Amino acid sequence: MNEDSFVVRLGGSEGEARRMAGLLGEMLDMDAASVSVFEADRRWSVAIHCAAAPDLEALRALIVEIAGAEAAAGLEIEKLARQDWVAASLAGLSPVRAGRFFIHGAHDRARVPPNAVPIEVEAALAFGTGHHGTTRGCLLALDRLLKARRPRRVLDVGTGTGVLAIAAAKAARRPVLASDIDRQAARIARANARANGVGAFVETIQANGLRGRRFRERAPYDLLLANILLGPLQRLAVPVARLTAPGGCVVLSGLLAGQVNAALAAYRPQGLALARRLDLEGWATVVLTRRSRPRNAKAPRR
């Protein structure tokens, strides 16, 4: 496929560039394959790889909204050959440690620490390499939950590259159902699960929402992971509650720190209570527990 690659250069420190990459990856309304951050010539850059040239005015307006006018004023866009993008993204992608989990590319296999749970994912494939605060927050929450108990069934909604599903399958050795609204993402997640040796544990499907028969057939879930955005999380509150087993846990992320109360307002009436909150890089991950079945909610059909 002959795709164009665009490097959006914003300058700033490594931390600022990583924060910008995360925000753009979550908020851009474009057909983007990946958003990453890397260092070249002693300058940190945010890279957007997309199938068509972005709307520059809309992009500048978005940067003003999330980073201020000064960052938008320094915006530069350079078109690169696709092979240059892949090389740059892989060269700048450092491994990520989140609890026992170690997320890395193939070029860093030799750096996996002893006793870590390695998850190999390439940067150029899709969103979700573990660098974003939402993914790291979910992995840290997952690590803590799995130390307390081993779930029988796991559901990962909006799986992306499949990092969370792979992590759960590797650490718990339990069946995981992973879904994504994007067919390509579901295909990538399936390939990543096989490459990480858990293809037999992870079933990946393309689905919009949670209404599909497969979700009901595998329910109830002792652990449900959903790293998406506030709007979809709010719309999924009722089906999430219905699919979660009594006493089960739900990990939600993709939330800006100021959006947590809005998310909780949708889930509390469904019998899901806040157990823990983790904030990273301006993003929040929340762990909810299923205390009781909400009124008028029917048990999933088996």
Per-position DSSP letters for 47-110, written without gaps between them: EEEESS---HHHHHHHHHHHH-HHHHHT-EEEEE-HHHHHHHHHHH---EEETTEEEE-GGGGG
CATH 3.30.450 fits 5-92, yes or no: no
With cut-offs at 50, 70 and 90, classify the pLDDT of residue 107.
confident
With cut-offs at 50, 70 and 90, classify the pLDDT of residue 291.
confident
Higher-confidence residue of 292 and 218: namely 218
Of 20, 1, 22, 4, nearest to 12 (Cα)? 20
Question: What's the token pair of residue 192?
Answer: 């990543």
Secondary structure (3-state) at 212: coil
Asked if 64 and 72 count as a contact pair (C-beta separation under 8 A), the reply is yes
Whether residue 207 has pLDDT greater than 60: yes
Higher-confidence residue of 99 and 52: namely 99
Whether residue 131 has pLDDT greater than 70: no
With cut-offs at 50, 70 and 90, classify the pLDDT of residue 215.
very high
Of 223, 243, 229, 125, nearest to 168 (Cα)? 223
With cut-offs at 50, 70 and 90, classify the pLDDT of residue 257.
confident
| Prior bond of 232 cis (ω within 30°) | no
The string of pLDDT tens digits covering residues 115-125 is: 999 999 875 44
Superfamily for domain range 130-290: Vaccinia Virus protein VP39 (3.40.50.150)
Range in 34-38, 52-56, 62-66, 152-156 with the lowest mean pLDDT: 34-38
The string of pLDDT tens digits covering residues 68-104 is: 787 777 766 666 554 444 444 444 457 888 999 999 8
Structure confidence at residue 90 (pLDDT): 45
| Intrachain domains 5-92 and 130-290 with the same fold | no
Structure confidence at residue 31 (pLDDT): 43
Task: Give me the residue spans of the domains in the chain.
Answer: 5-92, 130-290
Whether residue 294 has pLDDT greater than 60: no
97-122: buried (b, 16+ CB within 10 Å) or exposed (e) per residue? ebbbbbbbbeebeeeeeeebbbbbbb
- Compute the distance between CA of residue 48 and CA of residue 8 in angstroms, rounded to an integer: 6
Structure confidence at residue 241 (pLDDT): 97
Whether residue 128 has pLDDT greater than 80: no
Does the CA dihedral 48-52-56-59 come out positive or negative? negative
CA distances from 53 to 4, 25, 89 (A): 7, 16, 19
Mean pLDDT rounded to a whole number for the chain: 80
With cut-offs at 50, 70 and 90, classify the pLDDT of residue 171.
very high
User: Rounded to 5 degrees, what are φ and ψ at 69?
Assistant: -65, -30
Structure confidence at residue 5 (pLDDT): 54
